[in-house]
Every structure is written in C-alpha cells, then in structure tokens.
Structure 1
Amino acid sequence: MPFKVQVGPPQIAIHQAMTVLVTESDGQINWPGDKGLYFFDTRLISAWSVYANGTKWDLLNGGAVNFDAARVFLTNQPFLTEDGPIPSQTLAFEISRVLDQGLHEDLDITNYGQKPVRFNLEIAIRSDFADVFDVKAKRDIRRGHINSDWTETRQTLRTTYRNADFSRSVAVSVGKSDSRAVLANGRLSFEVKVPPGGRWHCCLMYEFADGDKRYHAPKDCAADSGLSSQAKAHRDWRETVLKLRTSNEEFYRFYHQAIDDMAALRLPIEGTDHMVFLPAAGLPWFMAPFGRDSLIVSLQNILVYPEFARGSLEVLGGWQARQRDDFRDAEPGKIMHELRYGELAHFKLIPHTPYYGTADATPLYLVTLHAAWRATGDISLLQRFLPNAQAALDWIDEYGDRDGDLFQEYQTRSPVGYENMAWKDAGDSMVYADGSPVRGPKALCELQGYVYDAWVRMAEVFDALKQLDRARALRQKAAALFTKFNQAFWDEDAGFYAYMLDGEKQRVMTVASNPGHLLWSGIVPPDRAARVVGRLMQPDMNSGWGIRTLSSKHPAFNPYSYQNGSVWPHDNSLIALGFKRYGFSAEAGHIARDISEAASYFLLNQLPELYAGVQRDGANFPVQYLGANVPQAWAAGSCFALLQAMLGIQPDAPANTLYVDPDLPPWLPDVTLTDLRLGKKHLDIRFCRDGDKTRWEVLRGDAKLVKYRGAVQAREALGVA
C-alpha cells in the first residue's frame, strides 16, 4: 500500500490500565498543551524536556513499540563544553519507557565520537495535576496546593498535590545510574562522562500515588520488560483469544491489530481472575469504565473473548443506579454511562461519579447477559446477575418509557446533562429533515429495537430459569412493541424508518444509519428488510468506505463532522450483523470489505474511532477525522462482528451446539479459526469458498457440535413476530 493515513498530529501514546502517557514524537511533553502523563484522570506530569548543556536534542525516530512501551532515538546538536565542542550527531540518545503500575524510563547515551565527552544532562519536569476535563476544556485552574521535595540520599523528587481530602503525587527516583543526580534550577541534572565508544545509562523510576495507595514502577529496564508480569499477561491474552488464519493478508492484519488493540484497552477488575477485564472505550481520553461502549464491545467480542461480557456485567451491575439523582441523570435500575476518578469527580463538580446519561446501556446490558450465557453456557451468570436484570427491566418500564406509550424516550434532568443520550451523543446529531435541531424528549428508533431485543432475549433467559410466566409476559410486551413500533416509525412512501419521534410524537424522517440497528435487533418485519437494506446501500449513505451516519443529501451533512456524515466502523459492524440476520449475506460482505479496505490504509491497519464520510472514487483513501480516538475499542471490535456476520456463527452453548451459516465473499476465500470456544469446549474450524458456496471442516474438537442453521431461521427461532 503506497500511502498510509495517520490519525491526529504526530505523537506517542502508551498506556496501561488507567494510566496514559502522551508525548511529542521526540518523547518530550511541551507545555502548554494537552499532552502529559495521566493517572486516574489527573495529569501528574504536564511538562518533560531534556537538554545537553542547555541545548535541545534532535529527533531521529520515536514511537510506541507496544501499547505499554515506547522508544525514542535522538541525537545531539553541536554544543560547547569546557573540554571543547561536541560535533553534531556524534551522541546517540535513546529514551525507553515501560508502563506497569508506575513508569520505568531508561536513558542511554552512546558516544560515537573519537574523544571523551563530559557535559550536563538536564531533565526539566513539571506537574500541574490538572483534571482531564480541565485539560480537554483548556482550563488552567489550580484548586489545591503543590509541594515538591528532593531527597539527596534517596535520589528522589516527590511532587504532591492536595486539595482537602483529594491527593495525588508522583515520585521520580534515580535507579541504576552511572552518575548521581542533583536538583538545580528546577531540573534534575547529571554529569555525563562517556569515553569514545562508551555508553552512559540511567534509570528513572516514576511512582504514582492515589492518596495512600502507591503504584510502584517496574524495576526491570525496558530491554528486560518481556520478563515482566505485564508481558506475561499479554502472552496469556494472546493464547486465550480466538485466533485466525486466512490467505487474505489485508484481513489478517486487520484482525491481528484488532486483537492487539483489545489487549491494550483492557481494564483489570480488582478482586477477579487476572483474565477478567472491562473493556475501556479508547485512547487517549476514554481509558475509563463506560456503559454503552463496554457493552457493545463485549457483544462484538463474544466469540473472541467472552470474558469481556462477564467483566462488563460485573462492573456495570455493581454501579447500577439504586436511587434517583437528577444531577447525574440516575434512576433506579439504570446502567451508567461513564465513571471518572479525578478531582472534579471527587468533589462532585461534574456528574461522572458515575454519570448515567445514556438511554441505551440499560437494554444493552440485558442483551449482553443473554449473549454471554449463550456463548458460555454458564447458567450461574443468569442467577448471579438476575437482580440486575430485573432492575433493568423495571427501569425500561418506569423511566425509559417516560410517558407510558411503550416507547423509550430520553431527556436530561441535569443542568449539566447531555442533550443526546444514545450512541450518537453529539449535541448537533439529532436533526429534522431541514437540518434544524430536534428538541424535547426523543424516541430514537434504535432504542425501541434494543428494548425489543432485550425483552425477547430475557424471555429465553426466564425460560431457562423455569420462570415461564415471566417469559410469557415479556414475549407479549415484545409483540406489542413490534406492532406499535412498525406502525409509528415506518414511512411507506420513503420505504424507511423514521430516525426518531420528536417531543410531539412526530416522525423525524432524516435518513441516517440508525435504522440499520433495527435489523440487528430483529424488530423489522421480513417484508420490509430489503427496502431498509437497499436504502442504506444507496450512494448517499454508502461512502464506499462504509455507511455514513447521515445521508449526503441532508442539509446538515458534513463528511468531516463527528456524527453528521462521518463513518463509524462499529456502526457498520452492527448494521452488517443486521443484514446477515435477515439473509442479506452479500451486502454484509460488502460492508466488511469496505471497512477492511479502509483499515488497510491506516497506520498499522488500526481503525480509528471514526473517519470522514468522503466518497470513495477509486483514486483516494479514507480521510481521518481530527480528534478520533485510536486505538478505540468498538472500532477494533468491528472486525470481530464483521467476521461473525460473514460466517453466521450463532453460539448456543446451553444446547451444546455451535450453529453456522457461512457465506464468505470472493475477496475472503478462506478463514481458519483456532480456539473457538463453545462453553468449555474448544474447536478449530476451517471455512473455505467452494464455487459460490462456503464449506466448513472441523479440524479439532467434536464435529457433531457444529451444525448449519440459517441466520433467518435463527432470527425466527429467537423472535416473537
């Protein structure tokens, strides 16, 4: 591929759990700016720069070598010393960093000159302890007090921030070093002496503290980081997840980068097995627990790593709202949107403690519970999370349906709440056909689909738990919603569903991608599915790099906007699953091809959160959206959902059966899956095109477990309409 698209300005971003380090390409942190070392939503280091006798270094190359490690190669500009001049490019300076609890930083200087050198290496470090929300808003507000202490004997510089009972600190200690440090003029200074061909080395250890809890830096240098517990956990992850081989190099790279991205975005859950995680949303701003994001990512990963679903159910169930709190848009039974840990959240100056401004996370919690059970066969999951599920069902009835008309509506009650509470949460994303903003409680189409799907799935759950009356009641409600929704939202002339009903219960006939989610949820009658699919595949919606969020014919269309014309990979992956659910395999494969080809243009085959909805014309490439998160969890997860759509895999572990309905497109002639889990069983399966059919062969495991069932038949078996 002759051209690779880079997302965002050049920078280096590494992270581990809820610690994120974002620097310039030369490894430094320039202030003012938004880069820095962030720890639980607080910027511990806001400036970091290094000098040789006061002279800056020149960048050669720098980048992340893993999600938790980076390496930068610098060389010297000419500078003077008392022993004489040092010519340019005679010193090599390598900065290596590894995050694991704390940060380990290696500084290595090699003298390629023919004379010994002696100079001062100075490192300037500043800590502003800014809240991540203040940084994003470009607010420079100091609410507390900062103190720094240098301990000569321990070679440690500790900087502490306190505001009442909120405290953060960072301690920078000199580890193994060829010379001692002094603190002068606010800088750590080392006298560096290097003979010709010699090398000077120093380790800096960054320890973080959240109140009384300390996070120690790894002791091993970056060269030995492969021996760390973090490296072992990554190897365990790679051994555990679903593995893929294919002759299509493009999709192979897409898949394996997605696996690495998901490894990077795991948040460990305290008190659980070391392989149970909650998926974070994305780097650099969203390394935090989320509701909607974590649930959709768990569904995308259900074949690849079902433990994500277990982690999401655990964490989000633990934070499920117990009482009404209008400032946080909380209501009993509601699943949260976002949880933050910084100073603003600590003092409740923002509602993210957690904030509950999402209308879709609660039904998606129920969908995820069912999917996790079907993938694992673990009925104890249903028993464990049944109280959460019942509270979520009650919320749907009592609060999600604000006016008792069977439809889900949302509107914030908080003075700082979100205007929009679905996945399209931008303030300008909900527009009438003339481009003006929709006001009042909004009944988005996909919310009705999610609730329908949740009721249908939970009916099956109650069947399994022998609560047949509750199952019957949910199926009756789902049938009533199916009928009423298709009467109220369908427009026969347009052959499409309304985007939403506004506050006056009038249809908003804006053409957007949201009705594609209705196919995924199964709320569309079969005789209407072809018209929905056909409308989404029209050129004004299908950019050639994926389906746009908004029609290019709409007055509000802007391909460079956040959600009014851009392309979101996760949106496309759910639409592709919906296409497959109604038997439109070719169209699902078409979307998969567009997204996979788009991924091939991005650096590392790494899909960003979104990209511009510019029309593909055969001579261009996908265009970045400025500010997109990368890596981003549901962008990476889109690869897995697209694969599931093409193979038609339907796990039914409770019935000890893996149903498949494969239809590989010509561009992807073969796929071999290794360690595909069905409950506690493992299968290796090869899928291969044979003419216009796709055959499969079980290479390992019990072949009798794998059976054909058409995706349409599967939808009919689950649905009530």
Structure 2
Amino acid sequence: MHRPKEQPSTVNLVEQVAEVPFYIPATGPSTRPRRNLKHDDCFAIFDSHGDIGASPGGPDGLYCRDTRFLGHLELLLNGTQLLLLGSNVRDDNALLTVDLTNPDIYFENKLVLPKDTLHLVRTIFLWNNTAYQRVRIHNHGDRAVHCVVGMSYSSDFADLFEVRGMRRAKRGSANSKILGDGQVQLQYWGLDDELRCTDLSFAPPPDRLSTAIASYTLSLAPGEAKAIDLTVECRNDDRHPAHHPFRRGMRAALQERQLATRSTTTITTSHDIFNEMICRSMSDLAMLVTHTEQGPYPYAGIPWYSTTFGRDGIITAIQTLWCCPDIARGVLRRLAALQAQAFDPLADAEPGKILHEMRSGEMANLREVPFKLYYGSVDSTPLFVLLAGLYFERTGDLALLRELWPNIERALEWIDGPGDPDEDGFVEYHRNNDDGLVNQGWKDSHDAIFHQDGSMAAGPIALCEVQGYVYAAKKHAAGIARRFEKHALADALDQAADALKENFEAAFWCEDIGTYAIALDGEKNPCRVRSSNAGQVLFSGIASPDRASMVALQMMQPSFFSGWGIRTIGREEARYNPMSYHNGSVWPHDNSMIAAGFARYGHKAAVARVFGGLFDAATYMDLRRLPELYCGFHRARARGPTLYPVACSPQAWAAGAPHQLIQSSLGIEFDPERHEIVLRNPELPSFINEITLRGLRVGALSVDITVGRQDDSVALRILRNDGHVKVSISFN
C-alpha cells in the first residue's frame, strides 16, 4: 500500500505534491463524522446522518470493485436537512441505525411543524452488492402532519484512484433513465468498455420520481408511522433489477455475520472497556473478511484498500492465527492462486513472487495505474512462506501444505533468484517501471527509507526486517520439507538461514546508533536510522539475544515510545515528523509485531507497556476502534492521541493487533499432533485481571479457559474440555 506523507510547506508545494504518485490529499475536515459498512466487495461510507455527500470533505460513497457507484444520497424533509439525534453502528458492524428529527419548519413566517415532532429512523445495511435502507417516519405530535419526504441521489462512477486525488484526461460517458415502478438506473460506459449501473428501487413507489430526486407527500395522523424502503444495487449490466425485500435481506445479512464468527475463539476479560475494544476488533475483522473463490480473505481497509493485499492479508492472518486459523487458510490459498508466473515489468512481477495488490476498477483495467495485479512488494513472498509454516505449526494441516508446496518452492526460488539480483544473500527491491512503487516494504511512502542525514536511499534496497522474514521463512520451510522427507532440501534451507543470520548481524548492526540499520542501499551502505523496523527484526528471531535486548530497551525509550505506542522512527532522526505517514507516526500492527518479538526474547514487561499504550489509545477512539495509524505526538496528561486525517478505519491489521498482543502476553503455543496448548511465561497486562478464551481450538477439539492474576503470577482454570486437550502453563 502506498500513501506518501504530506509535503512540507514551501513555495513549490503544488509542484512537489504533483510529483508524488498515488498521493491522497487531506482537503479539509468533514462537518459530519463518518460511518462505514462493508459486505464482500462492496463498502459504503455514510455520514452520521446516513447521508452520502451531503457535507463537504471525505470520500463518501457506495463502492463496489474500486468504483463509486453512488456519490450522493441525501434525505430531506420539506426540502430541509434533518436534526441528528443519534447514529450507531451495531456491535457486529452489520447495521447502521440513525435517529433523526425535524427542525422547526416555518411557512410564511408561521411555525407549521415544531421541532421534535417527527422521529425518522434510517436502518441501513449491505448485502450482495446492494445497499438496503428503510426510512421509518413516526408522528409523535398531537395533530396530523402533512410533509414531503425527499431523497436526492447521483453518481459520478469515479474510480477509487480518482477519489484519492488522481486526475484523468478523459472519462467515459454517463446516462440515466427511469425504469418505471419506482426504479431508476444510473449508467456509466467506461473507457474500458465495461458498463457499470446503479439501480435504485423505491417501495412504495414515490409520488414524484426523476433521475435525481424521489419524493413522497405524506399525511401522518397522531401516532401514525410509515416506512419507505430503498435498495441501491451495484451491477455490471443493465438488466431490469429484481426487487429485494428489506427484511429478508436483513435476516440473511445478520445470519451470515453470525456464521462468519462461529469458529473464532471468543475473548472476554475483567475490563469492560477492553471488552468493547476486542469486540470491535473481532467485528471489524469479520466485516473486512471477504468471501473469495479460494476462501475467506481479509481486505486491507476502508476506504482506500478494500481489496486483496498480499502483505496485509498475511500479517492479519499471522495476528489471528491462534484464534482463527481459517483466515490463514484462505489467505494462503488465494495468494497461491495469484502467484506470479512470468516476468512483467509493468506489474513488477517475477516468477514465484507473491501479490502486493489487485484492483478491478476502470483505471486499473486501462493500466492508468499499475495495480490490476501488482507485485511490487519485497516482503509478501517470504511472509507467504512464513505463514505457511506457522499455519502448519498451529493446525497440523498437512493436506493444505501438500497443496501449497509447489507455490512454496516457487516462492523460495524467487527469494534466492530475482529477489536477490546481486546474489549477496540479502533480498532487495527496486521498481521495474517508473509507475510502480518507489519503496516496496511495508513503509512504502516515497520518503520512508533514508540515510542519517535525511537523504533518500538509492536502490536496490535491502530492508532489515525483510531479511528477518527470509530467515524465518527458510527455517519454517525446512521443517515442512522434512515432513515431506525432503531432507537434503531441509538441510540446505537450514544452512542458508544460519548463514543469513550471521551475515545479517555483520552488515546491519550499527554500534554507533545501538540498533540495526533500517536498510542497506544499492552500494551496501547502511542507512543508520533508528526505526521500528529493527523492532520487527525481533519478531523473526534473526537477532542475537544480546542485541535483541538492546533493541527492546531502545524501543521503550521516550524517543520511540510515545505513551500511545512505538513510533515508526525515533524523534532524533532527520526526517522525524509525528504527523507523517511513516516517519514518526504510530501503527498498531507494527506495535503488535514488535511486541511479539519482545515476547520471543523474554521481554514481557515491554509487551505489557505496548499493550497498555495501544489500549489507552483505543479508549479515546470512535467505537473503540484502532485505526490504521495515528500521530506520534508524545502523550500529554488528560488528552487523547492525535488522529491521522486520512487513516483507514477500520483496517485489518490494526484490528488484528489486539489479538496478537493477547497471544504475546499469554504465550499461547499449540501442538496439534499431541492436542496440547501451552501458555509459556504468561503475564497479564496491568489493566486486565482475568482473560477468558472460549472455543480455543486444537485440531478438531476445543477448550474454554480462564487465565487470572494470582499474586505476582497467573493461574489457569479449565472451564470446558470437549476432548482430550491438554492445557498447561510453562515458565522457562
């Protein structure tokens, strides 16, 4: 993913921003908070009133497959906006409910409708490429009310990259028509020869209907209520739309959401606010997970990244592997199916490489952006192999590993081949065309990788954490190879990993800054920058124990730890900016992976501080939802964290962060062959006295357990065991 940070204010500001590819502008605040819904390939961004595009700013719209199918939808009463009473997304993210009332309405200087007479409830949900909405109007007055309820609507059929700020020299043609019986169709013929249609269906049919406005003239007796249903369907043909009953669709949507979480371990604790946070995280993951041909896949985030991303999907799968291994299975199968088969410089594709991003909008189809199937990610490939190994450790699912083994072999061949063009043993990246991403690690802003003096690093670039991913990938691949009795290959992989570990320490460790360089540039000069990338080195296990301790200590100093989490770079670095995308902000997923590294090397106190910082931040967030990132300003007394203006929220790997922090705290490990679960050196964060895990699976069996604080240690209690699962605590 790529969103470069805002440029500094200079006389050449416009020219500088214009030179930054895929820049997402923050053009000003919206006057209404946003509410998000998603189902599979469709998502919608409403404002707090349930409207779309009624207030300035923000990416409002109903989107499907990277196209905005509806850009404006506004509910009006007698031509005026309504007053907001309340707006809530259900805990499971399935429904948006908005309560509205009328303002004082005058006619010829006389008050004809006092405020708070009518109660309007908008109930909205998405299902099967369709947005459903019911508006219920209830007269709470003591006399009859005569009013006009209207809805205005339109669509620009903008490609998502247009919404993000890119401009196009030419667009397709638009048309609209009334189909009759309360139905309107908005059409767009794209330059890619695809027809995109937005079908609006009203029930009952409105009294007046045009291609832009529907209105109802209502008479409501005291205590009377009436309802208006609207469905908005996104489609790629102009067939006559089918009627979709509101209640039937709502039942189906709610049932599907319930089924989606049935096999996931549920988490409850002694802390009510944390329960809200983890409930929202689990609901966000359930909403972002999309049904694909290969299985469930967590789309990266709303609004900018609601599609398949390799790195994001893999990391989300790693974060949730202990409590929901089905996500990892879907991620592995989908990325295997999309693995690059040939060289394609325009897509940064090379045989064996794992996908970075895929898009299905008009601009991607026309290659106005290179992301239809784009492989510009240096870490997706080793992370794919690593996830396969971790998945097998967690589940013992040898059948899936046999299915994936050819893909794993091709990924390993890429790592040692095109991924290491100079054959120095380090995996590096450089873009193969000028339209691709400049930086291809998780910090993919154009200015994220730099030298100590602030100058940009020239490629090919070898990132420190990527070498750790490769090390862990080869170690896990060796274990898989042994299960397939490929002993010579397993030994070779182990030897290669050990050699990489030794060479990594020699090339990346910088004694003068007390940590690993963020990267090596194209001349093999280390970029001597203190960064959170070094914290992720610990996640992979490539770091030596003594240097891991030095990194952990540095990560928890005020230079890095803001009080709300670990910053992406230290405050002393040349390009530090707490408001930037990658150079001083705090990313929840980054923190969760660093905390997993702390746990690996036994630094549980640091895990608890990181956990506490992210939890405290979430208590200030809307819906207790951790966003993609927030600003890196130091924590101040009686103030919450500073938000990043165009962060995705929800974001899959931000939603997965609390799950990974729980595993790191409790040290949850699995032995599926022996049906054993071990809690290794468990510790509870200071704000939680007890955690209960229900439906914790190992193989086909599951248990319910509670881990509670007991003096200076923890105690384990088995609540339910439906088989012969052995659960124990190990201190070592």
> Normalising to structure 1: TM-score of the pair?
0.92
* 1:405 to 2:424 alignment: yes
Show the counterpart of 2:19: none
The answer (yes or no) to whether the contact 2:200–2:230 under 8 Å persists in 1 is yes
Cα distance in 2 for residues equivalent to 1:214 and 1:43:
21
What CA distance in whole angstroms lies between the structure 2 residues aligned with 1:216 and 1:456?
A: 54
Flag the 1:666–1:93 CA change in 2: closer, same or farther, 3 A. Answer: closer
Change (3 A) 1:494 1:148: closer
The equivalent residue for 1:717 is none
The alignment status of 1:668 with 2:695, answered yes or no, reads no
Provide the rounded CA distance (Å) in 2 between the counterparts of 1:277 and 1:694: 35
Corresponding residue number in structure 2 for 1:205: 231
User: SS of the counterpart of 1:475?
Assistant: helix
Find the partner of 1:161 among 188, 200, 205: 188
Farther-moved stretch of structure 1 (111-120 vs 436-445): 111-120
CA distance change for structure 1 residues 546 and 148 in 2, over 3 Å: closer, same or farther? Answer: same
Counterpart amino acid of 1:351? Answer: P
Match of 2:627 in 1: 608
Aligned-pair CA distance for 1:652: 2.5
Q: Could you say which residue in structure 2 is the equivalent of 1:718?
A: none
How far did 1:258 drift? 1.2
Please state how far the C-alpha of 1:494 moved relative to its aligned partner: 3.1
Shift of 1:233: 2.0
Give the distance between the partners of 2:726 and 2:481, measured in 1 at CA.
25
Asked if structure 2 preserves the Cα contact closer than 8 Å seen for 1:160 and 1:167, the reply is yes
TM-fit CA distance, 1:9:
6.1
The equivalent of 1:714 in structure 2 is: none
Contact 1:7 1:630 in 2 (8 A): no
8 A contact 2:703–2:718 mirrored in 1: yes
SS for the counterpart of 1:684 is strand
Identical pairs, percent: 36
Which whole-Å CA distance do the structure 1 matches of 2:87 and 2:730 have between them? Answer: 50
How far 1:220 moved relative to its partner?
2.5
2: distance between equivalents of 1:583 and 1:216? Answer: 59
Cα drift, residue 257 of structure 1: 1.8
1:286-325 mapped onto 2 (5 Å cutoff): 286-325=305-344
Question: Which deviations, in whole Å up to 9, do the C-alpha atoms of 1:461-515 show, x marking residues without a partner?
Answer: 1111111111111001001101111111112343311111111101111001111
Aligned to 1:61: 86
CA deviation map 1:149-169 (0-9, x unaligned) = 2133x2211112113531111
Of the structure 1 ranges 670-679 and 478-487, higher mean CA displacement relative to structure 2 is found in 670-679
Conserved 8 A contact 2:72-2:155:
yes
The answer to whether the 8 A contact 2:274-2:615 is kept is yes
Q: Is the 8 A contact 1:155 1:181 kept in 2?
A: no
Partner of 2:50: 27
**Contact in 1 for aligned 2:608/2:686 (Cα 8 Å):** no
Q: Secondary structure at the match of 1:130?
A: coil
Give the match for residue 438 of structure 2: 419
Secondary structure of the residue aligned to 1:400 is coil
Match of 2:152 in 1: 124
Whichever residue aligns with residue 51 of structure 2, its letter is Q
CA contact (8 A) 1:7 1:626 kept: no
User: Per-residue deviation at 1:7?
Assistant: 11
Q: How many angstroms does 1:537 deviate by?
A: 1.4
Note if 1:504 corresponds to 2:523: yes
Q: Pairwise mapping of residues 459-474 of structure 1 onto structure 2 (< 5 A)?
A: 459-474=478-493
The match for 1:482 is 501
Q: What amino acid maps onto 1:99 in structure 2?
A: L
- Counterpart of 2:123? 96
**Mapped contact 2:184–2:211 kept (Cα < 8 A):** no
**Which of 246, 251, 254 is residue 277 of structure 2 equivalent to?**
254
Instruction: Give the letter aligned to residue 196 of structure 2.
Output: R
Conserved 8 A contact 2:138-2:223: yes
Superposed displacement of residue 627, structure 1:
1.0
How big is the shift at 1:631? 1.2
Give the corresponding residue for 2:661: 642
Q: State the alpha-carbon separation in 2 of the partners of residues 486 and 7 from structure 1.
A: 48
Residue equivalent to 1:238: 261
Closer, same or farther: CA 323–689 of 1 in aligned 2, 3 Å: same
2:178 paired residue among 139, 150, 156: 150
| CA distance, structure 2, for counterparts of residue 617 and residue 247 of structure 1 | 27
Encode CA deviations 1:337-370: one digit per residue, 9 max, x unaligned: 1111111112222111111111000000011111
Picking from 238, 260, 263, the partner of 2:286 is: 263
Instruction: Check if 1:75 corresponds to 2:94.
Output: no
Q: Which residue of 1 aligns with 2:246?
A: 220
Q: 2:281–2:625: 8 Å Cα contact kept in structure 1?
A: yes
Q: What residue is the counterpart of 1:3 in the other structure?
A: none
Amino acid at match of 2:148: N
Matches within 5 A, 1:160-179: 160-163=187-190, 165-175=193-203, 177=204
Decide whether the 8 Å contact of 1:174 with 1:181 is kept in 2.
no
Measured in 1, the distance between the counterparts of 2:731 and 2:481 equals 25
Which segment drifts farther, 676-685 or 288-297?
Answer: 676-685
User: How far did 1:426 drift?
Assistant: 1.1
CA contact under 8 A between 1:16 and 1:67: conserved in structure 2? no
1:707 deviation in Å? 4.3
Alpha-carbon shift at residue 630 of structure 1 (Å): 1.1
Residues 397-455 of structure 1: CA deviation (Å, up to 9, x unaligned): 11111210000111111221111111111111112112222122111100100000000
Identify the residue that residue 347 of structure 1 maps to in structure 2: 366
Residue 441 of structure 1: SS of its match in structure 2?
A: coil
Deviation at 1:683, TM superposition (A): 1.6
**Aligned-partner Cα distance in 1 for 2:467–2:364:** 32
1:55-82: CA deviations, max 9, x gaps? 3333333343352422222323444679
Counterpart amino acid of residue 471 in structure 2: Y
Q: Does 1:595 align with 2:614?
A: yes
Q: Secondary structure at the match of 2:177?
A: strand
Aligned CA distance change for structure 1 residues 710 and 280 (closer, same or farther; 3 Å): farther
Report how far residue 666 of structure 1 moved.
Answer: 4.0
- Residues 97, 649 of structure 1: alpha-carbon distance in 2 compared, 3 angstrom cutoff: same
User: Which residue identity does 1:150 align to in structure 2?
Assistant: I
CA change 1:265–1:74 in 2 (3 A) is: same
Between 1:257-266 and 1:468-477, the stretch displaced more is: 257-266
In terms of mean alpha carbon deviation, does 159-168 or 631-640 score higher?
159-168
- Displacement of 1:703 in angstroms is 6.6
Unaligned stretches of 5+ in structure 2?
A: 1-28
| Structure 1 alignment gaps of length 5 or more | 1-5, 712-721
**Which residue does the alignment assign to 2:15?**
none
Q: Distance in 1 between matches of 2:30 and 2:720?
A: 40
Deviating more after overlay: 404-413 vs 96-105: 96-105
**What residue is the counterpart of 1:686 in the other structure?**
706
1:515/1:595 CA distance change after superposition, 3 Å: same
Deviation at 1:19, TM superposition (A): 1.2
Tell me, in whole angstroms, the C-alpha distance in 2 between the residues paired with 1:213 and 1:557.
54
Per the TM alignment, residue 528 of structure 1 is displaced from its structure 2 partner at its CA by 2.0
C-alpha change, 1:54 and 1:100, in structure 2 (3 Å) is same
Conserved? CA contact 2:319–2:656, under 8 Å: yes
CA spacing shift, 1:424–1:648, aligned 2, 3 Å: same
Equivalent of residue 33 in structure 2, options 3, 6, 10 = 10
Q: Distance in 1 between matches of 2:135 and 2:720?
A: 48
Counterpart Cα distance in 2 of 1:704 and 1:132: 48
Equivalents in 2 of 1:21, 1:74: separation in Å?
A: 20
What is the deviation of 1:138? 5.5
* 2:721 paired with 1:697: no
Q: Which residue of 2 aligns with 1:715?
A: none
Q: How many residues align?
A: 696
Cα pair distance change 1:215/1:149, threshold 3 Å: closer
Amino acid at match of 1:182: R
Q: CA deviation at 1:382?
A: 0.7
The TM-score with structure 2 as length reference comes to 0.90
